[in-house]
Amino acid sequence: MALRHLYTVLCEYVTMGRDDRPTAAGIFHNIEVESFPATRRLGLLVALGGDDGDTYRVTLDGPDGEPIGDLVAHATIGARGGHREHQQWVWTAAGVVRAAEFRTPGVYGISVWDDGGRVNTYRFGVLQRESGEGDDSE
């Protein structure tokens, strides 16, 4: 089966529990900043479906669609024990981009790649805050 991108969540904070269940707090869909360039912490959760041994990587992409900065994640889906009939597996990558850099306003993306290329991109806007607004994400 080919690698599948199930969902991406942008958030302020993400943790993985002892039972491998993710918790995301402060979920948002767009980012508002005071001015450009802007740097901010970005938590993210990326859920994938695939087979043992599938390799994936996750990138932060600029408005031109090209990856910017370092890879967000790069790993191989590992073997799982205790598989039961009809059970569906989801591999969740959770992490924090400590210093995501946004040079200009625009539509940015979190892309999932496999060995054959880009699988999917979750897009989000990075906007300049209008005067009088206080929150930095929506």
The predicted pLDDT at position 122 comes to 95
Give the lowest-confidence range in 18-22, 38-42, 134-138.
134-138
Q: What is the dihedral of CA 125, 13, 98, 128, to 10 degrees?
A: 30
Q: Distance from CA of residue 35 to its chain's centroid?
A: 23
Half-sphere exposure of 88 (CA within 13 A, CB side): 8
The predicted pLDDT at position 108 comes to 96
Q: What's the mean pLDDT when you consider all of the chain?
A: 84
Walk me through the domains of the chain, giving residue ranges and CATH numbers: 4-128 (2.60.40.1930)
Give the lowest-confidence range in 6-15, 86-95, 117-126.
86-95
The predicted pLDDT at position 96 comes to 77
The predicted pLDDT at position 104 comes to 96
